[in-house]
Amino acid sequence: MMGPSLKLQGLGVTIKGMTLLQPLNLTLSGSLWHGIAGPNGGGKSTLLKAIAGLHNHRGQIELHWPNGKNNIGYMPQLSPFDASLPVTALDFLRMHCDKRPVWRRYKGDPKIAAVVERVGMQKLLSKRLGTLSSGERQRVLLACALLNEPHILLLDEPMAGVDKDGREQILEILVDFKAQGGTIVMIEHDWQILQQHCDTLAWIDGGLEAHDTPTAIFDNLQAPTLGMRHAS
Ligand SMILES: Nc1ncnc2c1ncn2[C@@H]1O[C@H](COP(=O)(O)OP(=O)(O)OP(=O)(O)O)[C@@H](O)[C@H]1O
């Protein structure tokens, strides 16, 4: 596969008169792994949601699909589920791929089976969402993002709350996704991960401050004038 490239032109987000993201121009090439980093509250999730079509925005978002239009896989930022919600991890996956009510007789969906195997969540299927640990929840959310065989993944801190082994497993899945030609746009705070895996890094602080290799941005942030104030 070939992942799509993204061209953002004058993309900005204002909600109820408050500017969350100043208009920015950014081109993200296809089949590469792009990191998004910056200080807390800087607008990273806002940017990703705008790309995913979840925020009203101004400006243009162009996705160029080399092999015809395909799906976007979006993984939102981790947030707790209500513990009383009577929905299991398997129900949740079904909701993401089945237009029929999930309580109808279920014959098994090969797409679900494949993704369950891919993220290693067999043991989680019958557990209620509200009882899952944060690492387990991330696994379920990643499975949902992968469910419809996307060519581009938009990931909001996929490794937050995940232990070291879990991180390795998620990174392995993402490395494999990119090796198959997929495009990844990922919010991440961990410099080691950014430098090891990302081809480019967009630094977001109210707008786009820099777009370069992770190493160039890291070196720049360590310059005495800027200090490490941003490198959380
Ligand atoms: N729907 C909304 N309405 C009003 N303000 C919002 C909304 N969503 C986010 N914000 C505000 O916009 C700013 C940017 O939020 P955003 O979540 O995009 O930042 P972030 O860089 O992803 O932060 P973090 O690293 O903490 O996740 C924050 O001040 C946040 O409180």
Q: What is the pLDDT along the chain (232 residues), one digit of tens a residue?
A: 889 999 999 999 999 999 999 999 999 999 999 999 999 999 999 999 999 999 999 999 999 998 887 889 999 998 877 877 878 888 888 877 766 665 554 557 788 889 999 999 999 999 999 999 999 999 999 999 999 899 999 999 999 999 999 999 999 999 999 999 999 999 999 999 999 999 999 999 999 999 999 999 999 887 655 444 444 4
Q: How far apart are CA 192 and CA 117, in angstroms?
A: 27
Residues with CB under 6 A from ligand 1: 15, 20, 38, 40-46
Measured by CA distance, the residue closest to atom 13 of ligand 1 is 41
Nearest to 75 by CA among 144, 2, 29, 1: 144
Measured by CA distance, the residue closest to atom 1 of ligand 1 is 15
Q: Which fold, 5-221?
A: Rossmann fold (3.40.50)
Q: How far apart are CA 34 and CA 186, in angstroms?
A: 6
Query: In angstroms, what is the span from residue 21 Cα to ligand 1's centroid?
Result: 9
pLDDT of res. 232: 43
Per-residue exposure over 149-160, b if at least 16 CB sit within 10 Å of its own CB, e if not: ebbbbbbbbbbb
Amino acid found at 186 = M
DSSP 3-state of 208: strand
Nearest to 83 by CA among 121, 127, 128: 128
DSSP 3-state of 26: strand
Strand partners, 60: 9
Query: In angstroms, what is the span from residue 47 Cα to ligand 1's centroid?
Result: 10
Q: How far apart are CA 88 and CA 59, in angstroms?
A: 39
pLDDT in tens, 62-114: 999 988 878 899 999 988 778 778 788 888 888 777 666 655 545 577 888 89
DSSP 3-state of 195: helix
Can you tell me which atom of ligand 1 is nearest the CA of 43?
Answer: 18
Nearest to 198 by CA among 36, 37, 2, 34: 34
Measured by CA distance, the residue closest to atom 8 of ligand 1 is 46
The two three-digit tokens of residue 128, written as one number: 């209620």
Is the CB of residue 156 less than 8 Å from the CB of residue 113? no
Measured by CA distance, the residue closest to atom 31 of ligand 1 is 41
Q: How much is the pTM?
A: 0.90
Domains of the chain, by residue range, sit at: 5-221
Strand partners, 13: 21
* Backbone phi, psi, residue 78, to 5°: -65, 130
